[in-house]
A = this chain, B = another copy of it.
Amino acid sequence: MTAIAEPTSRTDEHLDAVFGALADPTRRAILTRLTQGEASVAELTKPFTVSQPAISRHLRVLERAGLISRSRKATARLSHLEAEPLKEATVWLAGYREFWEESYERLDELLVTLQQPETDPTGRGTS
């Protein structure tokens, strides 16, 4: 029960920031865009209907979570994907894999059961 009794470790705080940053479709789309390479704020704003200041705010949230780093190139400020925190989040989620896999197995069993009466074991249809 240690994990429950100590909910404020450093990893926990970082996971809060990472999951919080991922809880927005625009921020997730920005990360998707950055998998293709670094981009300026203007380039990141283009596909969205939101304003450049709004995108800048999203970038600050991503930067605080360690999901992007930023550098200057002439007057542009470029964002780079930093994927390591996504690993941390995936490792946390992977601990629950057996619980969703179990429910998937149950679903598979249910589907097999439901399909059986519909199947003609002789391989001949009735129509």
A contact residues vs B (CB 8 Å cutoff) = 1, 3-5, 7-9, 12-13, 15-20, 22-26, 28-33, 35, 47-48, 81-84, 86-87, 89-90, 92-94, 96-97, 99-100, 102-104
A15 touches B25 (CB 8 A): yes
Among B20, B29, B83, B104, which residue has its beta carbon within 8 angstroms of that of A96?
Answer: B83
Contacts of A13 in B (CB 8 A): 25
For A8, A20, A99, the residue with the greatest tally of chain B CB atoms inside 10 Å of its CB is A99
B86 touches A93 (CB 8 A): yes
B23 touches A92 (CB 8 A): no
CA distance A8 to B28 in the complex (A): 11
A23 touches B16 (CB 8 A): yes
A-B contact pairs, 9 of them (CB 8 A): A3-B32, A23-B23, A31-B96, A35-B96, A81-B99, A83-B99, A84-B103, A86-B99, A93-B93
CA distance A8 to B47 in the complex (A): 13
Contacts of A81 in B (CB 8 A): 99
Contacts of A100 in B (CB 8 A): 83-84, 86-87
